[in-house]
Amino acid sequence: MASPGTAMITGITGQDGSYLAELLLDKGYRVVGLHRRSSTVTFERITHLMDRLTLLPADLLDEASMIRVLREHEPREVYNLAAQSFVQTSFVQPVLTGEVTALGVTRLLDAILLTDPTIRFYQASSSEMFGKVVEVPQTERTPFHPRSPYGVAKIYGHWITVNYRESYGLHASSGILFNHESPRRGLEFLPRKVAFSAAAIKLGMQEKVKLGNLDAQRDWGYAPDYVRAMWLMLQQDAPDDYVVATGKTHSVRELCDLAFSHLGLRWEDHVEVDEQLLRPAEVDLLIGDPKKARTVLGWEPEVGFEDLVRMMVDADLKALRTAGS
């Protein structure tokens, strides 16, 4: 079989970047990953892949750094996963969030236009764009009403992708992905915070965990399932936008109950509400309709909510036990 060629991933050091790199390597791609400079090593999630990846320094704030990589490595597919992705941080760093998560997309699209407009492009759009939802469930046609600077920035990234597709004929697709998690999720996001804390409490390493809004509802899926959808989008003849979700929603309370009860604990004994963790504006309910992804891409999620939460708790329990011994 012919080699699929080279794929470039921005945000390769993040949760999705690591799973997408695994998927593409398994499919025979040569994978080029961009990482930004930092004073400490950020390769924790891709350590096991290092000898199979080409890692290069570049930043979404610096267009020339991306042009250089595109010219030298000539990817056929570019996946833009890099972003300031934490909603809470976007309230305290709204301008940085806009520079990276919004304008960064334009810098990368321009870099593609300047080097090779036949490159296929994936933009990591988000269910946070739906925000204060105007219909349930949310589809590709649901109007946006963002509730954070992050959501606002993602809408810019989404529409500039659509605009470059329509203006310049780029094969640019946008995946409107709902929350997706894994044992590689950053510790600040709710499901990983709960999984890690439940495991630490079980092992006697901590007693309580402070959370914010317990009533929020999210459509939570499994990250490796979602990166498969990204790849499928770039294999279509025509670019398009797709909602990627499970179609089921659960509350923060339900997630806590599942994680703690898996370890024989009562979440009510350990969770404290900290008002500092409430957001200035909240997204109360998200539930996606993945019908188009199912029918056009043939995409199906393989891991459900219950298995996902148990998997994350088990992974943190194992990691903490190993670290302890």
Does 87 interact with ligand F7E (rule: CB under 6 A)?
yes
**C-beta of 17 vs 224, nearer to ligand NAP:** 17
Which stretch in 137-145, 163-171, 207-215, 312-320 sits in contact with ligand F7E by CB under 6 A?
A: 207-215
Which stretch in 4-12, 163-171, 209-217, 229-237 sits in contact with ligand F7E by CB under 6 A?
A: 209-217
Distance, CA of 285 to CA of 304 (rounded, Å): 18
Does 139 interact with ligand NAP (rule: CB under 6 A)?
no
Distance, CA of 72 to CA of 13 (rounded, Å): 21
Residues in the chain: 325
The catalytically annotated residue of 150, 156, 222, 226 is 150
Least separation in angstroms between residue 63's CB and ligand F7E is: 23
Distance, CA of 66 to CA of 115 (rounded, Å): 10
| Phi, psi (deg, nearest 5) at residue 165 | -65, -45
Contacts of 239 (CB under 8 A, 6+ apart): 120, 121, 165, 170, 171, 172, 173, 233
- 128 catalytic? Reply is yes
Least separation in angstroms between residue 123's CB and ligand F7E is: 12
- 164 catalytic? Reply is no
Q: How many CB atoms within 10 Å of residue 95? A: 9
Distance, CA of 167 to CA of 190 (rounded, Å): 39
Does 14 interact with ligand NAP (rule: CB under 6 A)?
yes
User: 247 in the Ramachandran plot: left (φ > 0), alpha (ψ -120 to 50) or beta?
Assistant: left
Least separation in angstroms between residue 188's CB and ligand F7E is: 6
Which stretch in 87-95, 175-183, 208-216, 297-305 sits in contact with ligand NAP by CB under 6 A?
A: 175-183
Q: Which residues of 290-311 are buried (b: 16+ CB within 10 A; e: fewer)?
A: bebbeeebebebebebeebbbb
Residues at the interface with ligand F7E (CB under 6 A): 85, 87, 126-128, 178-179, 188-190, 193, 211-213, 216, 218, 252, 277, 279, 282-283
Q: Which residues bind ligand NAP (CB under 6 A)?
A: 10-11, 13-17, 36, 38, 42, 59-61, 81-85, 100, 124, 126, 177, 179-180, 186
